[in-house]
Structure 1
Amino acid sequence: MKKNIPFLLALTVILACSPRKNGFVNRKYQGFTTQYNVLFNGKEALKSELTNREKSYKDNFYAPYIKLLTYEEQASASTMDNLGFTPNTEGVPPSDFFRDDAPDNSSGNTGNTAGALQVAEIKALKAIEKHSMLFNGKEKNKQIFDAYILLAKARLFQGKNLEALDAINTLKKNFPKDKRLNLAKIYEAYAYGKMGDFYQSDESFRDLKKEKLKKSDKKLLSVFYSEMLLESGKKEDAISELEDAYKFNKNKKLRSRIAFLRGQILASLGENEKARESFVTAYKNARNFEFEVKSQIEIAKTFNGKDDEYEGAKKYLENISKKGTYASRKNEFYYALGLMANKAGKKDEAQDYFKKSVKEKISDSQIRGLAYYEIGKKHFEENDYLSAGVYYDSAYAAMNYPPAKENLKSLTENIKQVSKNYYLIKKNDSILKLAKMSNDERIAYFTKHIETIKAKEAKDEMAKKKAEKNKNNKFETTDFALLNGTNNTSSFMDFSGGSKTFYFANQSTVSKGNSDFKQIWGNRALTDNWRTSTKQNSIEDLKNEALGINSAPNPRRFEPDFYIEKIPTKTEELAVLKKDRDTATLGIGRMYENFFSNTPLATKTLYDLVDSNTDEETELQALYQIFSMNYEKNPSATERAKQLILQKYPYTSYAEFVKNPKKAEFTSSDTEVLNQYAEAYKLFEEGKYEDSKKLIDEALQKYPKDVLIPKFTLLQAFNTGKTAGKEIMILQLEQLMLNYPKTSEGVKAKQMLEYLKSDLKVEQFDANGNPINPQVQAPTATQPQNNIPAKPMQKDNRIKSLQEMQQEDDPQPLRPVEPKKDK
């Protein structure tokens, strides 16, 4: 050995002096030092990051699609070019494939993530800089290929997709004929997909599929390609590619995930039968208890009640929910059974299962929320919005998947608004009803009410005494144990009935605590600053607030006079109550339509309001709402409302609206319509206003969707101004502006209204033609037609001629113009 030492030292010095020469020995030396020095450290840094991610990874089964690969697949790989690469999407625009807005811990320890990825990137760059042997544009150190792959991965994990592509392009340039080049091209296509360039990504993947690939490359390509196809919205192609991925990959855990994702896509396309088969495959290959349970739930979701045997499927799920560890997930299996019962048309049975689900011990908060939601959904479909709101409140509190929670939030808020109006109506109706009663009737009514209160309080008191007695018995048992020197090893004494159970497991204590808390604070949401929050957070709160129910009992609550004294007696007070009730009813009718699209219930509510002898303003608004939400979908329901508006309020913009409601779209004009408009305009110029009006009315009825309808309407307003007066013309212009705001006629109507209203002075005349002082008798909307001015307008109120208006605004606003051929 001593003889060889000088030779080895000399060889080392020679190699150190010329490490970059293109020689066999130099290539081997640089490759060795690259692999086992700098590059090794970079790979270890990336591997540690993947290991951290794998440990904290948790599937989000409530997103539209699960992530196909887990970080465990990468961390267990012996080399960095195996399956399982899943880039960190932080900072990258979300795609359809990763539409899981729920908090996701899959990125591991965020404090070390950036550091580990940066170390891997730096090590890769250092390996390239120090050990590259680039001669004539070709890299002679084969290990530099791995350095570029590591560099690309480290950058992709950080969301640096463009920089990753730069590394891959350099690799392709320096290794033009390397046998591993297809691996780089796979990551290149994948990076294009993450940048949103789906066309280029698809082209690259298609070209690669034509190449003769290694088995490992086929595995990687099939997984990445199916993911990209799903991101780009090509669900059918993604399904086909996932089938190839399932065939190429023999790992059962990955196969289970592929089958599960395929089932989710098929279910989104409505192919429940195929989806169910795919979920069954996912269940059979599952290597995770959570994955098994969720696969069973997805199988239930895709149950076909028409073809499948419901009883057999139900028996299977009921049996499996009782076996071993599955028993701890009964609430989830009951939820799945409820979904199956719904599909089979057994609505009542489904509700029983959902109620069982919420009573079981919770294992998944989102499932608990979904079960509450299904219960509330049934009440919602039956138009019982108040009961639905109670369950939706519970669902909202239980859910932990943000998108589902956010979707439910607006619905619960809408129901709370409806509930607030509902209980206000109920309270005011009760007061108005009591106000009409005689004193004896009131005494009888409240005596019965007091008896109900006494019975309830007696029942509550009995339950309280029973709880106190049980509590005292537990104290005595504990004292006896202490006196005998037993059970003295615990520093915290248990009063719950068991020698080794937790104190707060005592249900009676918990119930009493809840009762005391509600008595002091009321129902509060589990949110920050709950103590100072004044926000009502439940339907029960709204009910108690509207009905004036106080949790603290009043000493006079058993005296009828205590309630009778609160009943208002003044006419003004009763009028205010009725006005508030009618306004709330009008509001709740609008809410049924705007919030829930329940037009029949909204129509019935508003017609009931009209029949309750409400004031004119509220009645007119109710009739208008009935007409506007029904005239297109259900014209027969609007007939009564239309006639009432025309009879009671003929000189309002609402009357103009029901005569000619705005149309959703127009069609082009033909020669006949153009000729009719020209004729109507000619009659107007000749002063034959009634003839012009008659011709326009015919056109409005015959061509309701013609493009010239706004012009006809504007010309009709001018005719009205000449015959009926300025005030009626203003109403028609207002309606024109409301119906066709974006047309040139609608804009002109708005400009004319600004001018006409600036000097408007309404004059009223009595039956004898004498002017009425507006300060003595204000005009109302229901005055008969003979109160409309029969005398000519005063000079300051006269209608300007059409020619004058044309000169001020547009030289020829009403001339018939043939529409463009492309319209």
Structure 2
Amino acid sequence: MKTSFKVIFIACISAFLLVNCSRKKDKFISRNFHAMATEYNVLYNGNIALEEGRDRLNEEYEDDYWNVLPVERIAFSEDILLPGQSKNESFSRAEEKAVKAIQKHSMNIKGKEKNPKMDEAYLLLGKARYFDQRFVPALEAFNYILYKYPLSDKINVARVWREKTNMRLDNDELAIKNLKRLLKLEHLKGQELADATSTMAQAYLNIKVTDTAIAYLEIAAQSTTKHEERGRYLFIKGQLYNILGYKDSANVTFDRVIDMHRKIPRDYYIGAYVEKAKNFDYVNGDKLVFSETLAMLEEDRENRPYLGRIYHQVGEYYLATGSDSLGIAYYNKSLRTQRSDRELNARNYKILGDLSFDNAEYKTAGAYFDSTLTNLTLNSKRYRTVKRERDNLVDVIYYEDISNVNDSIMYLVNLSETERLAHFEEYTTHLKEQAEIERERLEAETRAQEMLNSNSGFNVNTKNSAFQDRDAVAQIANTFYFYNTTTAAYGKNEFVKVWGNRKNEDNWRWSNMNFSGPSALVVASERNGLDLTADVYQPEYYINQIPSDQKVIDSIVKERNFAYYQLGVIYKEKFSDYELSKTKLKTLLESNPENRLVVPAKYNLYKDYELLGQTGEAEILKRDIINNHPDSRYAEVLSHPNQAAAQDLNSPEKIYEKTHTLLEAQKYSEVIVLCEDNIHNFEGDDIVAKFHLLKATAIGRLYGYEAYSKALNDVALTYANLPEGQRAEELRRNVLPKLKFTGFLNNEDGRRFNVIFQFDNASTEDIDAFAERLDQQLEKVRYYDLTSSKDVYSPTTTFVIVHGFSNLVVAEGFRDLFKKSDKNKITRPYVVISSENYQIIQIHKNLDTYFSEIK
């Protein structure tokens, strides 16, 4: 009976709740039931999912302390997702919970929402979409709160989030306008004020109004209830003061960050110290206190994750105080410590590269600049700047390598047989010592591995091997030697190390018993891949490689001398390192160089003396050039300096300009002849490469694709390390393949058409007279805008071309455009060809093929 009563009672209560908890009835029980279910079920789980997603974003985000931090610690990617996809499953789950709350618990009765928790559901919906980078739907959710729930206690929060979303949509001015109205009309305080003012600060930062952003950051820092946010706002404020140049105010702000110490993340704490260090006054500041502060940061064990930045700043200190060697050491320590910070690595490598450059260590500087480029964003402004600096070092590195290698070869060539043998005996002895060290290292590793394997095998069936009791340890210690696998393996390795591989037989110690090779040492080395009897350990191997053929030696000397000349010019012209240029040129002149390099080397050496203020040496060299080389252009320049200063019409540059003008005038045959003459006249000068490339261009215009390809290849091979050679290689690789097509297109498919008059073996006067008469006739043509030009096709053929036809039929009826009664009308035969086919003809010089195909 009692059981039946309970069942009936529960059924009645359930029916009562179902009837009175309808979403369509505005009852006390309905409102509170759905509000409670919304808050403690759906929204609770949704907010947990939202926080999980935010925590994941924070873990993945890394602040860039080399630039001003964003107010909100979050980074949005540029990846585009398909509809229905999400960047973070936690935000998708939060959005699902918010939608579920709205669908199942919304009480929209007569246009009014009766569930007091629906505004929080829409707020959760907007936040989830915001963090999932779906800003337009997020804006809709926040606007819905402002429209539907004007009396909500979350209305100001929704307004702030709406302006955050507007900022992400690049509507910064609108966000500032709305936030100003909010701050003016509403009395915000606490976290709401902090959120509003920090958002306002970010909006001003976006539009580059730095001073106003500072004011709002200070309000946000004072209002927020979260220490992490306060530390971040103050740190950003200090960075902005630095941008404005107010270092004292910045240091005061960073001190406020430092005073918070363990209340804030360690990143801000260390960052504040580093920013203060950047602001240190090396003229009036207390260097002792500053160095002690840096040493304190370096020694603190808690700062280990930040040692890269700290070492970098210590390096800056030593560099600024003149201790370059210590600075270099700390920059290298920074590189070894912090490998993930690409910006830090780039700065370290760039500084080391600049120091090496200043010390004339150009090859080392080039290596540092290469490492800098790998840590910079491709094609960024800084990347292009460093790339230019690195490209300027290509030539000097190339020629330094040639000079060093060839100097070494010539040093060996000039040694006697006895000296060569002694030199390479010393070298091979060093190699053997290194091999011994490597052999011992490999053997040690092998023994360690075998001992490890033995220990593992011995303890397989032992329970709690790391915590064996004393009895077990004593039992192992008293075990027979060969029963202990660890000691047996060790003994075996020691035997092999001393005696090598020996068979188990009588008299095994005798040297002639079953043992091949000169010693146990060699056998052990061979076991580890180190054969001390190999050719590389024999002096004769290297002596036999020294060149003895006089032609080969002369070629090496010639290549070395040219490298010295190029280095002398490069150091003078590119790097203004006149002392180093002088050294290279003097070494060249002392090496009995070929005649083509003597006068240019003396002239450049004269300029070095002059620029270094060594007037006596400069005057001696000037007289040498004038007296011993009177027919050279350098002697003419030195003999008549005023005339040369006014205008040196015979300078290589002027001659090159004149030759290039002839190329533009389509006088290709003249250009080729002049280039050949000037290549001979200016041999040894950098401008020779320019004449070679100009000649290749003229050959291509006159003789076509195949000749152009061969000429470019010659330039690319001959001047591989000069800009002209690199340009030729670029043309050969990237442009020529696009011009390789030799077939013809159907004229009917063309878009533009030309009328061509062909002149074979005609005089220039005849061609000019016809072109003049043609222009007069073209002026009479109505309805069509036609022009003419002259194009050289080959050494014997020239075209006069009429351009401007967009219709093939009109082009073919070119004569019909003139009046029949006109006595001066054009009667010469012509050919109509599409612009595309004309281009192919000029590139490949296949006019005869075209005529045969169209017939």
Letter in 2 for 1:245: A
Letter in 2 for 1:39: L
Superposed CA offset, 1:22-47 (max 9, x none): 44443333323332343333333323
Change (3 A) 1:182 1:809: farther
Q: Percent identity?
A: 17
Query: 1:193, CA displacement in angstroms?
Result: 0.2
Matched, 1:282 2:269: no
1:253 aligned to which of 224, 228, 240:
228
- SS of 1:461 mapped into structure 2: helix
Alignment of 1:335-350 (within 5 A): 335-344=312-321, 346-350=323-327
- For residues 382 and 158 of structure 1, what CA distance do their matches in structure 2 show? 52
Letter in 2 for 1:89: F
- Give the structure 2 partner of residue 200 of structure 1: 174
Letter in 1 for 2:241: L
CA RMSD of aligned residues (A): 5.9
- SS of 2:552 mapped into structure 1: coil
- SS of 1:652 mapped into structure 2: helix
2:414 aligned to which of 429, 440, 443:
443
Query: 1:166, CA displacement in angstroms?
Result: 1.2
- For residues 275 and 488 of structure 2, what CA distance do their matches in structure 1 show? 48
Alignment of 1:380-395 (within 5 A): 380-392=357-369
Residues 439 and 530 in structure 2, CA contact (< 8 A), matched pair in contact too: no
Change (3 A) 1:466 1:189: closer
Change (3 A) 1:200 1:360: closer
- Give the structure 2 partner of residue 146 of structure 1: 120
Superposed CA offset, 1:634-679 (max 9, x none): xx99999877852255973526xxxxxxxxxxxxxxxxxxxxxxxx
Q: Which has the larger radius of gyration?
A: 2
Change (3 A) 1:639 1:274: farther
- For residues 194 and 318 of structure 1, what CA distance do their matches in structure 2 show? 42
Superposed CA offset, 1:762-819 (max 9, x none): 69xxxxxxxxxx9999866999xxxxxxxxx9763897799889869999x9xxxxxx
1:563 aligned to which of 544, 547, 559:
547
1:299 aligned to which of 271, 276, 279:
276
Letter in 1 for 2:92: Q
Matched, 1:461 2:438: no
Query: 1:314, CA displacement in angstroms?
Result: 0.2
Alignment of 1:66-85 (within 5 A): 66-69=69-72
Residues 311 and 334 in structure 2, CA contact (< 8 A), matched pair in contact too: yes
Superposed CA offset, 1:64-87 (max 9, x none): 2345455xxxxxxxxxxxxxxx5x
- SS of 1:283 mapped into structure 2: helix
2:76 aligned to which of 43, 67, 89:
89
Alignment of 1:361-760 (within 5 A): 370-392=347-369, 403=377, 421-426=395-400, 429=403, 442-444=413-415, 453-465=424-436, 556=540, 559=543, 562-565=546-549, 568=552, 592=574, 646-648=649-651, 652-654=655-657, 731=661, 753=664, 756-757=665-666
2:296 aligned to which of 307, 311, 319:
319
Query: 1:304, CA displacement in angstroms?
Result: 2.4
Letter in 2 for 1:15: N
1:28 aligned to which of 25, 29, 32:
32
Matched, 1:39 2:23: no
Letter in 2 for 1:757: Q
Letter in 1 for 2:287: Y
- For residues 261 and 366 of structure 1, what CA distance do their matches in structure 2 show? 19
- Give the structure 1 partner of residue 16 of structure 2: 11
- SS of 2:62 mapped into structure 1: coil
- Give the structure 1 partner of residue 500 of structure 2: none
Residues 164 and 175 in structure 2, CA contact (< 8 A), matched pair in contact too: yes
- For residues 492 and 261 of structure 2, what CA distance do their matches in structure 1 show? 44
- For residues 806 and 491 of structure 1, what CA distance do their matches in structure 2 show? 105
Letter in 2 for 1:29: F
1:134 aligned to which of 87, 93, 108:
108
Higher relative contact order (CA 8 A, sep 6+): 1
- Size of the aligned set, in residue pairs, is 591
Letter in 2 for 1:461: K
Letter in 2 for 1:183: V
- For residues 653 and 207 of structure 2, what CA distance do their matches in structure 1 show? 57
Residues 339 and 350 in structure 1, CA contact (< 8 A), matched pair in contact too: yes
Superposed CA offset, 1:610-653 (max 9, x none): 9998979x99xx99xx9xxxxxxxxx999998778522559735
2:199 aligned to which of 212, 224, 228:
224
Letter in 2 for 1:444: L
- For residues 190 and 576 of structure 1, what CA distance do their matches in structure 2 show? 67
- For residues 553 and 247 of structure 1, what CA distance do their matches in structure 2 show? 74
- TM-score normalized by the length of structure 2: 0.55
- For residues 776 and 181 of structure 1, what CA distance do their matches in structure 2 show? 83
Structure 1 spans left out of the alignment, 5+ residues:
71-85, 94-110, 498-512, 520-550, 593-597, 627-635, 656-726, 735-752, 764-773, 784-792, 814-823
- SS of 1:281 mapped into structure 2: helix
Residues 102 and 118 in structure 2, CA contact (< 8 A), matched pair in contact too: yes
- For residues 776 and 343 of structure 1, what CA distance do their matches in structure 2 show? 55
1:209 aligned to which of 170, 173, 183:
183
- For residues 392 and 674 of structure 2, what CA distance do their matches in structure 1 show? 42
Residues 242 and 262 in structure 1, CA contact (< 8 A), matched pair in contact too: yes
Superposed CA offset, 1:46-76 (max 9, x none): 233234445x345334552345455xxxxxx
- Give the structure 1 partner of residue 737 of structure 2: none
Query: 1:199, CA displacement in angstroms?
Result: 1.1
Residues 50 and 94 in structure 2, CA contact (< 8 A), matched pair in contact too: yes
- Give the structure 1 partner of residue 738 of structure 2: none
Change (3 A) 1:342 1:177: same
- For residues 557 and 454 of structure 1, what CA distance do their matches in structure 2 show? 11
Residues 306 and 344 in structure 1, CA contact (< 8 A), matched pair in contact too: no
Superposed CA offset, 1:700-736 (max 9, x none): xxxxxxxxxxxxxxxxxxxxxxxxxxx9xx83x87xx
Letter in 2 for 1:223: S
Letter in 2 for 1:259: L
Residues 157 and 192 in structure 2, CA contact (< 8 A), matched pair in contact too: yes
- For residues 394 and 518 of structure 1, what CA distance do their matches in structure 2 show? 34
1:64 aligned to which of 63, 67, 72:
67
Change (3 A) 1:50 1:320: closer
- TM-score normalized by the length of structure 1: 0.57
Residues 335 and 354 in structure 1, CA contact (< 8 A), matched pair in contact too: yes
Query: 1:346, CA displacement in angstroms?
Result: 4.9
- Give the structure 1 partner of residue 809 of structure 2: none
